[in-house]
Amino acid sequence: AGQYNLFLMELVTHLMKMTRRSGVGVEEVFGTGFSLPIQDSALPSLEELEGWCAERYLRLRTLIRRRQTDSAGQTVEAAKEYIRQHYASPLTIAVMAEQFHMSEKYFSRYFRIATGQNFTAYLNTVRIEKAQSLLLETDETVLEIALPAAMKMSATLTGFSAVRRAFLRCNIVQHLAPE
């Protein structure tokens, strides 16, 4: 019984450390009112101990995954807002990954999963939407609006013709006709 109690204490202590390190509340994993030491009468057999530990481990794993998913979603929303505010800057995956303290691969993957399009396509869409808005709301010419956009986009698209095609897809052609 003495070795069983020692094993039980070590196992529970390890689970509690994992819980605290992950940032999950101890109560979420172990329940309210949980305290050490656990009475050996609460888990009298190894089978019951195994079931109890498996339940706590699975609960911890679920809570950690939920927290990671929520965090990734918040980061992507923050990245989208950052893009909307800094669309005129030379943004790249490397810049964004550094801004949000992620690896380029991780940022790119989660951005694509969350938005349904890759970073470059999303950035170019924001830039084109802004250009379209400027055409409708200002007296600037198409050339004055499109040229800066083309310069920013040419590194990610294949030159001006690709930018022109992107503008045409946005029905901006109507602004090219003389009045």
pLDDT in tens, the chain (179 residues): 567 777 777 888 888 888 888 777 888 887 877 766 666 566 667 788 788 888 888 888 888 877 766 666 788 889 999 999 998 888 899 999 999 888 999 899 888 888 888 998 899 888 888 888 888 888 887 777 766 655 555 555 444 555 556 656 655 555 554 54
Q: How many CB atoms lie within 10 A of CB 6?
A: 10
For the chain, first and last CA: distance in Å?
94
The whole-angstrom separation of Cα 170 and Cα 118 is 19
Give the pLDDT confidence score for residue 40 in this predicted structure: 58
What's the pLDDT at 98? 93
Which of left, alpha, beta for 116 (phi over 0: left; psi -120 to 50: alpha)? left
| Residue positions counted in the chain | 179
Is the pTM higher than 0.85? The answer reads no
What confidence score (pLDDT) does residue 80 get?
Answer: 92
CB count in 10 Å sphere of residue 110: 19
Asked if residues 134 and 140 have their Cβ atoms less than 8 Å apart, the reply is yes
Nearest-5° Cα angle at 128, 122 to 132: 145
56 three-state secondary structure: helix
